[in-house]
Structure 1
C-alpha cells in the first residue's frame, strides 16, 4: 500500500505531462480572439464626425448609429459608412479616437468654428449612446470605460490650421477634450509642412516648434501623420514626451510621402512613440501606389493633349482606367506594415489607425471596423504571440497616453506659450 501511495502522484504527473493529453495548440483566430478580449482594439483615427457634417449637417435626429450599413447614396456620391455600434462591437474596438476634421480650404476663423462644431456633434453623439460609448479625456477614463465594457471615445483634431495660429485657441481645444492634433493635413500651414504640399518652412517654423512644446505641456498628443519628413524630424527634436502617428504606414513597404521613413521609425523607438497603421490602399500597397502615379501621369498627358476639349480628356482617362484597373491592397499588405514597423522601431511602437469613414476605397479583407479580428489573426499566423498582439491592439497606446498625462501633470506650472493677438 505504501508503494502504491508513492507511485500515484508520480503517475498522475506523468499522465498530465503526456504530449498526447496536452491541450491542442490554439489556432491564429483563437490567439487573436484571446488577445482582443484581454486588450480590445484602440483605433487611432475614424472620420465618423466628418460624415455627420457632410451627410447629416450635424443633425443627430436623422442619424442612427446602431446600424449605418444602408447609408450609401450613389446620387450624392456617398458609399455606405464603415462604422456603426454593431460593427465596432464585432471588431472588438474598445477605444476610438474620433477625428474632428475640417477642410484645410477654410479660413482660420472658419476652421476654428467648424472644429468647435465637430467637437460638439461628436460629444453629443457619444452622449446619445451611453450604453456603448463613454467619453474619455485621459488614460484613467479609458481604463474605466474598458472596465465597464464601453467604447472609450476620445477626440483627435486633424490639421493644425484649425487653431488659427493661436496658442489660446489650442489650449481651449484641449479644455474641450481634444487629445491629439495632427500638425498639418494635405496642405502646409504657415508653421508646419505637409507631406503632400510644397514646403513653406523646411519642416517646422520656430512658432511650430513652440506649438509642439505647448501641446506636450498641456497634454495634447503631437500627431505627425500627414506631415513632411522634415516636420517629423523637427517635432522629434523638440518633443519631450511620446509622439504619435494616428494613421500612417511604413514608407519602406509603400513608398508614399504620407508614410513614415525608416530614419523616423528609428527615432520613434527612442522617443517612445507609436505608428498606428493606416488601411487606405494607396498608402498600404506599393502596386496601388504605382498605379496612382501612372494614372496621374496619364491624366496630365490627356489634359495636355485635349487642352481645348476637357470632356474628351475625361472620357479618355475613363477608358484608361477601364483598361488598367487599380491593383487591390490586401490584408497581407497591411500586416507587412506592422512587420516592418516592429522590425525597425520595435513591438512597443506599433498600433492601428484604420482611417475608416475617411476613404472611398478599402483594403481587401478590411472593409470596415468589424475587420480587426481578421488582421490580428493574420498577425498571429505570422508568429506574433498573444502578448504582442495585446500591445498592438491597445496596450502601447495606453502606455503613451499615460506618459502624456504624466508629462502634462509635471509641467502644469510651466509658463504658457503666448503670442500677440492680431486684431
Structure 2
C-alpha cells in the first residue's frame, strides 16, 4: 500500500473512531443529562442588560457563554445559577443586590417554556426541561444574619458558598484580594459553625468553592450533611489555591461530598489556555484520590473569562465526555459525574433536613464586635434624648425619640383613623 493510501486509511479510521466516541457520549448524555454546578449568567445579565429581561431573548445571546440553545446543544439537563454580588458590596447593600439577582434568575427560569425552576431533588430528577437551581455565591450576601439566610431559602435558594474572594466575619476566603475581616488563626468562628448547622437544618447545600482550606476542613468536620465544591479542580494538577489538595479530597470522600470540576483556564492549566485533555487530567486525578463518586461538573461559564480550547461555552460539554469515553471511563462512572452524584448529595442533604424537622430555627447572633459593620445599627429601644447608634459607635442616626413622636406618631394615628371604618 502506498504511503498516501496509508495516510488516507489512518485518517478515515481516526475520523470514524472520533465519530463513534461522540455518538457514545451523546447517547450517555441523553440518558443522564448533565447537572452543571455553577454558572454566572445572572451576573452577565446585570452587567450587560441591567437585568432587563424584556430587552433580550435568552435563546441566542451574544457576548456570553450561556443561552438556552447552547444549553440544549451541551445536553445540560439542569443548571445551578449563581446569585452573585461583588465583595465590594459587603458592609453595604449586598443583601439588596442579592435579592435582585435571585429575582432575575426566578424571572428568567419561569418566563421561558424550555426552563423550569426547581427547589428539590425530586423536582430536579423529574424535570423534563432544563431545570434551574438557585445558589448564592458568597456568604457576604447574608450580612451575618441567619434570618436572612432563612429568607433566602424561602425564596428558593438551595446552595450557598460560604465565601467568595473576600473573608466574611465568620469564614475565610481562599483569596486575599480584599482586606475585609482579616483572620487570626480562626478560619471558621462559632457563628460560622452556626451558619453551617442552620444550612444543614434548612436543607441548603454548603458550598466550599472559594473558601480557604482551613475553613473547608472545619466545615467538613462539623457538617452533618455532605458538602460540595461547586466549581473547583485538583490542586495536584494545577497548584492554584482555589483548587482542592489531596488531603481535602480524602476528607470530602469520607463525608460523601462532591467536587464539581471547574473549566476556567486559570484553575485548569494555571493561566495557560489549556485544552480538553488537561481538563480530563483533573478528572483522572480526582478519581484516583477520591473515587468517581466524588466528582461532578461545575463549569463556571460567564463567571470567568478564559476557557480551554474546545470548551469555550456550555454547548461544548459533549466534547469533554467524549474525551473521558476515549480514556475508557465506564458508563456507570460517566452517569455518576454527569448527574447521579449531585442528585445523591442533594437527596442526602434533604434527609439531614428531614431528620431535624422538629429542631427550631437557630437564634444565634454574631457579636457586633465581630461584624464591625459601620452600616449595622445597634437596635436599642429609644428613650427621650437618646439616639440609635451604629455598630462602630462613631456615627449617629438622627432618628431621635422627638422625631418619632413629632412625625411618625401623627402619621400612624391618621392611618389608624382611615382604617377603622373598614375594620368595623
TM above 0.5, one fold? yes
- Taking structure 1 as the reference length, the TM-score comes to 0.80
Matched, 1:136 2:133: no
Shift of 1:26: 9.3
Corresponding position: 1:215 with 2:194: no
Distance, in Å, in 1 between the alignment partners of 2:40 and 2:362 is 30
Structure 1 counterpart of 2:20, from 12, 15, 27: 27
Check if 1:176 corresponds to 2:169.
Answer: no
Q: Deviations over 1:3-41 (max 9, x none)?
A: xxxxxxxxxxxxxxxxxxxxx999322321221111100
Q: Secondary structure at the match of 2:87?
A: coil
Counterparts of 1:22-421 in structure 2, within 5 Å, are 27-68=20-61, 71=62, 80-130=63-113, 132-145=114-127, 148=128, 150-197=129-176, 199-200=182-183, 202-286=186-270, 288=271, 327-420=272-365
Structure 1: give runs of 5+ residues left out of the alignment: 1-23, 72-79, 289-326
Cα distance in 1 for residues equivalent to 2:30 and 2:216? 34
- Superposition deviation, residue 52 in structure 1: 1.0
Specify whether residues 255 and 420 from structure 1 end up closer, same or farther in structure 2 by C-alpha distance, changes over 3 A only.
closer
SS for the counterpart of 2:226 is coil
- Size of the aligned set, in residue pairs, is 347
1:42 partner SS: strand
Is the 1:32–1:386 Cα contact (8 Å) retained in structure 2? no
Cα deviation for residue 275 of structure 1 reads 0.3
Describe the SS at the equivalent of 1:247. coil
Give the Cα separation in 2 of the matches to 1:189 and 1:35. Answer: 41
In structure 1, the partner of 2:385 is none
Q: How many Å separate the matches in 1 of 2:193 and 2:290?
A: 24
Conserved? CA contact 1:100–1:157, under 8 Å: yes
Render the CA deviation track for 1:155-195: whole Å, top value 9, x for unaligned.
01000011011000001101111011000001111111000
Contact residue 35 and residue 387 of structure 1 kept, 8 A: no
Stretches of structure 2 that go unaligned for 5 or more consecutive residues are 1-16, 367-377, 380-424
Name which structure has the greater RCO, CA cutoff 8 Å, separation 6+. 1
State the distance in 1 between where 2:241 and 2:255 align.
21
Q: Distance in 2 between matches of 1:151 and 1:177?
A: 16
- Of 28-37 and 161-170, more deviation after overlay is shown by 28-37
CA offsets 1:285-321 (integer angstroms, 9 cap, x no match): 14x2xxxxxxxxxxxxxxxxxxxxxxxxxxxxxxxxx
The separation in 1 between residues aligned to 2:29 and 2:147, in whole angstroms, is 39
**After TM superposition, which residue ranges in structure 1, 4 or more long, deviate above 6 angstroms?**
none
The 1-side partners of 2:74 and 2:94 are apart by 32
| Paired residues of 1:108 and 1:163 also in contact (CA < 8 A) | no
1:204-255 Cα shifts (integer Å, max 9, x gaps):
1111111111101100100000010000100001011100000000000000
CA apart distance, 1:328: 2.1
CA distance in 2, matches of 1:419, 1:234: 19
8 Å CA contact 1:155, 1:180 repeated in 2 = yes
